[in-house]
Amino acid sequence: MKNLLKLMTAASTASLLMLSCAGTKSDKPVYLDENQPIEARIEDALSRMTLEEKVKILHAQSKFSSAGVPRLGIPELWTTDGPHGIRPEVFWDKWKQAGWTNDSCVAFPALTCLAATWNEEMSALYGKSIGEEARFREKDVLLGPGVNIYRTPLNGRNFEYMGEDPFLASVMVVPYIQEVQKNGVAVCVKHYALNNQESLRHEYDAVVDDRTLNEIYLPAFKAAVQKGGAWSIMGSYNLYKGQHVCHNSYLLNDVLKGDWGFDGAVISDWGGCHDTDEAISNGLDLEFGTWTDGLTMGATNGYDAYHLANPYLERLRDGRASEDVLNEKARRVLRLIFRTAMRTDKPFGSLCSPEHYAAARQIGGEGIVLLKNEAGVLPISGDAKKILVVGENAVKMMTVGGGSSSLKVQREVSPLDGIRAAAGEGVEVMYERGYVGDISGKYNGVVTGQDLSESRSAAELIADACAKAAEADVVIFVGGLNKSSHQDCEDSDRFSLELPYNQDAVISALAAVNPSLAVVIVSGNAVAMPWVDDVNAIVEAWYGGSEAGNALADVLFGKVNPSGKLPFTFPARLEDNGAHALGAYDPHSTVAKYSEGIFVGYRWAQKQGIKPLFAFGHGLSYTDFLYSDAVLDKNTMGGNGKINVTAKVTNVGAVSGKEVVQLYISDEECSVERPVMELKGFKKVALEPGESKDVTFAIEPEMLKFYDAEKGEWTLEKGRFTVCIGSSSEDIRCKASFDYEEDR
């Protein structure tokens, strides 16, 4: 009703305004004429606005909305948390949900799962689907997707992001953005930039050298702007060079708006704005959440007291602030409004549709990663008549909790329910708890309604599970992390790499009584696996959203042949991660030194010669793929030329499947230290049994460059380069080398 009234008010105001003008079409105000170029409409609207109206549109008026210009029929903006689903409605001035009955949504898999598909088509499907849900709910800005780089496996918010590699994240974010915005809904790509931990997230100053900043932490944001065409960007909480990033002159003015040509609006993270003068001068356009108690604490804490509200207005009136800067901010916010709330040709969208559930299931199934599979444990055979499912995560709802991405779903299929549905008649599916984790189930007023209370001791839980495991044909343990504090959750980091809640003991006990054990990890982070050699099958299932159980069952029973690949490295020990090896992650320090530089994830492991538990890009299938030798169409490159490299991939197994063919490039001769290899391309190919396909990559000079910090530019030196094609960063199947002959 609130959104309907909002639309009716804006429409009636605009109608009255048009009636007050001369009756001919040519006399219609330019800003109301959608046939006019958007820049002309912006300038016309700006010329009609008062100083007070310009300032008014630059800050929040409620928890999730900002003002329009009612006098001119310009509507307000409504934002919603994402990036995995549309957040339930909250009260005007409170975080707690408002108690609507028509604001449930489909939860899509977490973005780690999307990244694990290594499939741009899945990203487009995700963006289309969540964009339709946002449009139906009359949201103008979707606060997502997130593309912060996976620097440490302890970061509580890694599950919301797209992995450790800047190239993978850059490719996967673009279709998501494009498809969301086709619905007339803006994305707000977050969190720009260097927001790689939750500990002291409002206080730590990221100390990063320029090469690392440009090669690792900025590329995905740059792709979001220049290739995806993102309409808004969210500044992050942390500091860089001593300035909070929500008003950081270098990152916002110089890089984002200057070098990249970003024409959208910079939106603060909620509570990320700290200084009026910096907010005015350093690139912030739209301020949200500075006082999270809104109007409830009186006028001094009202929205008009925001940095970009009355304090800004005072500076404009007494000459301390320039109206030219104000006009530029207002232009950007108007541009965002005209692209979203002011558009009349938007599709209607849809909510909780069969198509959206199907999309969630498909993306979830394609993102699940088969880490290990021996002794024919998976897929589950049709001969299995007694299946035991063990673990709290087999039944616990995962769509509630975790911070701002918490959702209120219409339904969530648990792994246990998905397995029972897939097993069918004649198969007994038993369940045992195994361990007790977090029995709570609520966030901001959304309550799961599950009773997860338990009276048995840890020893009794293990004994009961093992007794049933001994008589089962197959045992499926479903554990991992959850959305509680200090696990996969906003505002806190994990304490360690280990599984919580005594799960290691449960897994080891089950493995001792039944070798047909499959361990399913539900998480958005890597976890330690001291039992890895004792277990025959391991699956990374991620947070699968509304269709989590069905997507998992599809893979476990072979309806879907797994094709997901890890978007980040699973280290065997925390010390095998660069930031931790160098003591460069300190959750208690307000200075975060990125001492590992460009050597993040697999780059660090290969530099140090460390064998990971599971490598970046790793993921097995129920079939096998054979790679031919890599063939270059020429052996030298120069100037603006390119080289094509082709490898034939053949499905030599008995079932159809998909393989992600990965292209890495090594620089054999360089004046600076470079990674052993870097991902520069990937293609997902579907193959029937016995079928072969040629997979060709075009290698261009831009792919070979490194960032020269002294020159402040991307540089390419002549020398020899090696092309590495394989199934993961540690499973290279074929190589070929060529020479680049010119310096650029």
Active-site residues, by number, are 269
Taking the C-alpha atoms of residue 163 and residue 111, their distance in angstroms, rounded to an integer, is 9
Query: Strand, helix or coil at 348?
Result: coil
Contacts 24+ apart (CB under 8 A), 686-689: 686/656, 686/657, 686/658, 687/625, 687/649, 687/650, 687/651, 687/656, 687/657, 687/658, 687/659, 688/651, 688/656, 689/623, 689/651, 689/653, 689/654, 689/655, 689/656
Taking the C-alpha atoms of residue 372 and residue 535, their distance in angstroms, rounded to an integer, is 9
Q: How many CA atoms lie within 13 A of 150 on its CB side?
A: 32
Taking the C-alpha atoms of residue 638 and residue 650, their distance in angstroms, rounded to an integer, is 33
Taking the C-alpha atoms of residue 41 and residue 362, their distance in angstroms, rounded to an integer, is 41
Q: To 10 degrees, the CA torsion angle through 174, 179, 183, 187?
A: -30
Residue 247 neighbours by CB distance under 10 Å: 28
- For tokens 């232009």, the residue is 331
Check the CA dihedral 648-652-654-655 and report its sign. negative
- DSSP bridge pairs for 626: 650
Q: What's the length of the chain? A: 744
Q: How far apart are the first and last CA of the chain?
A: 59
The answer to whether 189 and 230 have CB atoms below 8 angstroms apart is yes
DSSP class per residue in 406-420: ---BS----HHHHHH
Query: Strand, helix or coil at 81?
Result: strand
What 8-state DSSP symbol labels residue 493?
-
| Closest to 121 in 3D by CA, of 685, 540, 695, 715 | 685
Helix then strand then coil, % of the chain, to nearest 5: 30, 20, 45
Q: Beta strands of 403-499 (E only): which ranges? A: 428-432, 442-443, 446-447, 474-480
| Residues whose CB falls within 8 Å of the CB of residue 254, separated by 6 or more in sequence, listed in order | none
- DSSP bridge pairs for 731: 728
The answer to whether 655 and 623 have CB atoms below 8 angstroms apart is yes
Check the CA dihedral 251-255-260-262 and report its sign. positive
Report in angstroms the alpha-carbon separations of 248 from 55, 151, 191, 196, 584.
20, 22, 13, 17, 23
The answer to whether 211 and 603 have CB atoms below 8 angstroms apart is no
User: What one-letter code names the amino acid at 686?
Assistant: A
| Closest to 662 in 3D by CA, of 597, 565, 727, 592 | 727
Taking the C-alpha atoms of residue 417 and residue 406, their distance in angstroms, rounded to an integer, is 21
Taking the C-alpha atoms of residue 183 and residue 347, their distance in angstroms, rounded to an integer, is 6
The answer to whether 725 and 680 have CB atoms below 8 angstroms apart is no
Joined tokens for residue 423: 């097993």
Rg (CA), the chain: 26
Check the CA dihedral 468-469-474-475 and report its sign. positive
Chain-centre distance for alpha carbon 426: 40
Taking the C-alpha atoms of residue 250 and residue 256, their distance in angstroms, rounded to an integer, is 8
